[in-house]
Amino acid sequence: MKSLLMLFISMSLMVSSHANAAESKVAVLDMELLNLTMALKDPQKNAEIAENDQRNVALTESLVREGFAKREQYQLVEISDAAHAEADESVGFLFDRPDAAASLGQDFGADYIVVGRYHKPTYLFSYIMLRVVDVNSGELVEEFKTEVKGRPQETIPRNIENVMVDIDNRLSQH
pLDDT digits (tens, 9 = 90+) for 100-151: 999 999 999 999 999 999 999 999 999 999 999 999 999 999 999 999 999 9
Question: What architecture is the 22-173 domain classified under in CATH?
Answer: 3-Layer(aba) Sandwich (3.40)
13 falls in which pLDDT band (50, 70, 90)? very low
C-alpha 23/C-alpha 141 separation (Å) is 17
Residue 147 CB contacts under 8 Å (≥ 6 apart), including other chains: 125, 126, 127, 159
Please say whether the beta carbons of 59 and 145 come within 8 A: no
- Alpha helix ranges (H) inside the chain: 2-20, 43-69, 81-87, 93-96, 98-107, 152-173
Strand partners, 112: 26, 134
pLDDT exceeds 60 at position 94: yes
